[in-house]
């Protein structure tokens, strides 16, 4: 079967996600190893975004694969009411790497499920007090199901919204210093975007939790200024609410820490995570809570569950993945290689008028494209994406694919997030492709 036939069959029988179906031409991928993958025509591509910012361990890790095979042979499934060796081993292993104090775990199969569980837990925890509102942010993504898309701030929620759909969800401004929603400048702003959350608590009432991505993922790798996370944590505590950290994308070494909150010394009441917990070798998510929440459910029913909760086939690979992070020192490596990525991106920014900003930490960076660097006017808007218009970031990504480098793009930016095993030589290859591809944007930028 040739690639054209494979593409046609896929288009005919499958939905392409987050897109109009016309024009979708999926490439057939047949193998992957290390930081590269290969298509059915023999073309090799450097994976410069870890697929969907999830293949943190790279491709073809033998220990994780063997854990999947081993578990499939011994016990492929057990209902959640039972325990298994894999469940016990992973629970113990998590205590080694989770922020201190998070000690009770719920396992699902996606970040979406983890976030749904977190919100249900928060609302159950405050049921007797009548608290149910969740504060999230505008430049956020928390999942695609009915509940999690309501939590989401970006435009992917628009098509799902109906009257009453997002009842109990209120949104705060983002710590997006490059495009401050309050029109201020750090540090003179005094981190007003965090203080605004306190204002919301005082005027909304019945708020159960603040839910945020410590480092915003798809919507721009927005790294908050120092002091922001600490202040939001304090505000939540002072208002008797929970802090939920969505670390689906920013966890597992991606930001140079086991979890991004570690950078600021913040321990949330709940952490949600997925993706890198198994290196994306198999679907697994985690909702981790503190002791106070755990104690509450000793006498109160935990009204939540899934058929595949604590599925043993997903748990043992997570043990193997965590061991790989530890043995190979990948958290530290992410921090070290991230400095090199930042240096290279800084050089690229100096040479391209279309690059307005580069930002990130660890091996998690965004390159923001602008039509006018002085005014910060973007090439594209959310409306362009909604209307199916090809964005400038998408055009640059397509040009990089021609040069053998895969990179993820969104409305105004590209996401540089290679596997944590990436070498300097591979980083240089990706940067060279980016450097060349940005000429596409430079030609249409104001000088």
400-423 confidence digits (pLDDT tens): 999 999 999 999 999 999 999 999
Question: Which residue would you say has higher pLDDT here, 106 or 446?
Answer: 106
Order of all β-strands in the sheet with 36-39: 29-33, 36-39, 44-47, 405-406
pLDDT of residue 268: 98
Query: What is the distance between the alpha carbons of residues 425 and 216, in angstroms, rounded to a whole number?
Result: 28
SS3 assignment, position 447: coil
Angle, alpha carbons 215-220-221 (nearest 5°): 30
DSSP secondary structure letters along 349-410 = HHH-TTEEEEEEETTEEEEEEEEETTTTEES--HHHHHTTPPPHHHHHHHHHHHTTEE-EE-
pLDDT over 90 for what percent of the chain? 93
Percentage of residues in the chain having pLDDT higher than 70: 99
Long-range CB pairs of 199-206 (<8 Å, 24+ gap) are 200/135, 200/170, 200/172, 201/135, 201/235, 201/239, 201/241, 202/239, 204/133, 204/135, 204/170, 205/133, 206/130, 206/131, 206/132, 206/133
Alpha carbon 111 to chain centroid distance? 9
State how far the Cα of 247 lies from the Cα of 215, in Å rounded to an integer.
8
H-helix or E-strand spanning residue 315: helix 312-327
**According to the model, what pLDDT value does residue 5 have?**
87
Q: How many CB atoms lie within 10 A of CB 349?
A: 18
Phi, psi of 357 (to 5 degrees): -160, 145
pLDDT score at 174 = 98
The C-alpha angle 134, 169, 19, rounded to 5 degrees, equals 120
Q: Which long-range contacts (CB under 8 A, 24 or more apart) does 81-87 make?
A: 83/310, 84/310, 84/312, 84/315, 85/312, 86/312, 86/315, 86/316, 86/319, 87/310, 87/312, 87/315
Burial class (CB in 10 A: 0-12, 13-18, 19+), 443: exposed
pLDDT in tens, 1-45: 666 788 899 999 999 999 889 889 999 999 999 999 999 999 999
The residues pairing with 359 across neighbouring beta strands, listed in sequence order, are 366
Express each pLDDT in 243-302 by its tens digit: 999 999 999 999 999 999 999 999 999 999 999 999 999 999 999 999 999 999 999 999
Domains of the chain: 3-60+329-442 (3.90.1150.10), 75-327 (3.40.640.10)
pLDDT given at position 366: 98
Q: Flag whether pLDDT at 356 surpasses 80.
A: yes
The mean pLDDT value for 353-375 works out to 98
The model's pLDDT over 113-143, given as tens digits with 9 standing for 90+, comes to 999 999 999 999 999 999 999 999 999 999 9
Here the tokens at position 3 are: 């690639």
| Mean per-residue pLDDT, 164-174 | 87
Tell me the mean pLDDT in the region 372-394.
Answer: 94
- Is the confidence at residue 165, as pLDDT, over 70? no
Q: What is the largest CA-CA distance in the chain?
A: 65
Determine how many CB atoms are found less than 10 A away from the CB of residue 233.
Answer: 21
pLDDT value for 2: 67
323/334 Cα distance (integer angstroms):
16
> When comparing pLDDT for 158 and 374, which is higher?
374
Cis peptide before 107 (omega within 30 of 0): no
The kind and range of the H/E element at 442 are helix 439-442
DSSP state of 16: P
Mean pLDDT of 363-382: 97
pLDDT digits (tens, 9 = 90+) for 332-346: 999 999 999 999 999
Confidence of residue 169 (pLDDT cuts 50, 70, 90): very high
pLDDT at 388 over 90: no
Strand partners, 33: 36
């Amino acid at each position: 079967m040739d690639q054209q036939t494979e593409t046609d069959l896929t288009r005919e029988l499958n939905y392409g996600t987050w897109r109009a179906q016309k024009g979708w031409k999926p490439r057939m991928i047949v193998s992957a190893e290390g930081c590269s993958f290969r298509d059915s025509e023999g073309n090799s591509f450097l994976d410069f975004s870890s697929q969907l910012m999830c293949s943190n361990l790279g491709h073809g890790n033998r220990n994780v694969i063997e854990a999947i095979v081993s578990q499939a042979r011994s016990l492929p499934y057990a209902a959640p009411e039972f325990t298994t060796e894999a469940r016990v081993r992973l629970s113990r292993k998590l205590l080694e790497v989770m922020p201190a104090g998070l000690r009770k775990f719920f396992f699902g199969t996606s970040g979406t499920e983890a976030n749904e569980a977190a919100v249900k837990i928060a609302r159950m925890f405050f049921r007797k007090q009548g608290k149910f509102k969740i504060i999230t942010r505008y430049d956020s993504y928390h999942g695609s199901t009915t509940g999690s898309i309501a939590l989401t701030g970006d435009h992917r929620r628009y098509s799902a919204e109906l009257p009453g759909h997002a009842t109990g969800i209120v949104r705060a401004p983002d710590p997006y210093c490059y495009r401050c929603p309050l029109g201020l400048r750090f540090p003179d702003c005094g981190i007003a975007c965090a203080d605004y959350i306190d204002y919301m608590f005082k005027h909304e009432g019945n708020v159960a939790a603040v839910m945020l991505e410590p480092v915003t993922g798809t919507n721009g790798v927005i790294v908050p200024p120092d002091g922001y996370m600490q202040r939001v944590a304090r505000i939540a505590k002072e208002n008797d609410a929970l802090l939920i950290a969505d670390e689906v994308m920013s966890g597992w070494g991606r930001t140079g820490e086991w979890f991004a909150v570690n950078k600021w010394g913040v321990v949330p009441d709940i952490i949600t995570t997925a993706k890198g917990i198994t290196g994306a070798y198999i679907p697994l998510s985690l909702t981790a809570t503190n002791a106070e929440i755990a104690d509450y459910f000793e006498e109160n029913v935990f009204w939540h569950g899934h058929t595949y909760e604590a599925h043993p086939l997903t748990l043992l690979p997570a043990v193997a993945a965590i061991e790989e992070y530890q043995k190979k020192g990948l958290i530290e490596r992410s921090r070290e290689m991230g400095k090199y990525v930042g240096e290279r991106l800084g050089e690229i920014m100096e040479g391209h008028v279309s690059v307005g900003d580069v930002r990130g930490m660890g091996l998690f960076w965004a390159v923001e494209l602008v039509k006018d660097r002085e005014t910060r006017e973007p090439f594209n808007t959310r409306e362009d994406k909604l209307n199916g218009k090809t964005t400038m970031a998408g055009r640059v990504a397509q040009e990089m694919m021609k040069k053998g480098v895969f990179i993820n793009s969104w409305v105004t930016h590209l996401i540089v997030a290679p596997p944590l095993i990436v070498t300097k030589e591979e980083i240089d290859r990706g940067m060279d492709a980016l450097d060349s591809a940005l000429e596409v944007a430079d030609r249409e930028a104001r000088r």
